[in-house]
Amino acid sequence: MTEKNVELLHDTLAFGELLAVKHANGKDWWVVTPRRNSNTFYVLKFTKDGIVDTLRQTIGIKPKPAGEGYGQIVFSPDGSKVYRTNPFNPVMVYDFDREAGVFTHFDTISFKYGNQPVIGEIGCAVSPNGRFLYLSCRRLFYQLDL
């Protein structure tokens, strides 16, 4: 470390939604965070020389503000997908290009408990082989075969 307490980004960011994945070159890192109540993302490229790129991209649907801070965002183990949860939206799925640091495609996964859509505080994780998405919602736990 050569510097500390340096502001990297000045904006209103989503509560607790920060993730990182290795660049396709295996050396550098992408750090991703969404703007608060937004479908806009900041993607910062960290190299041995520090931050060399800060990209801004808007993609997908805007999560409902009432769910801010009650979801989760994670990369798949291979870094090709991002899963984002919010209590009032379907699971948001983004394809991520680890070479360019951009989202390339957006989709959603909706699911129901009985006849009702699943809503509530949703945590998520992806299995090590990337096949399953695990979602926890209050007293319920789901395994989705991707």
* pLDDT digit string, tens, across residues 44-71: 999 998 888 899 999 999 988 888 888 8
Separation CA 104–CA 70 (nearest Å): 25
| pLDDT score, position 117 | 66
Which tens digits make up the pLDDT trace of 32-44?
999 998 999 999 9
- CB-count burial class (<10 Å; 0-12, 13-18, 19+) for 14: buried
Give the count of beta carbons closer than 10 Å to the beta carbon of residue 19.
17
Query: pTM for the whole thing?
Result: 0.90
Separation CA 110–CA 56 (nearest Å): 27
Domains of the chain: 19-145 (2.130.10.10)
Residue 97 bridge partners (DSSP) = 102
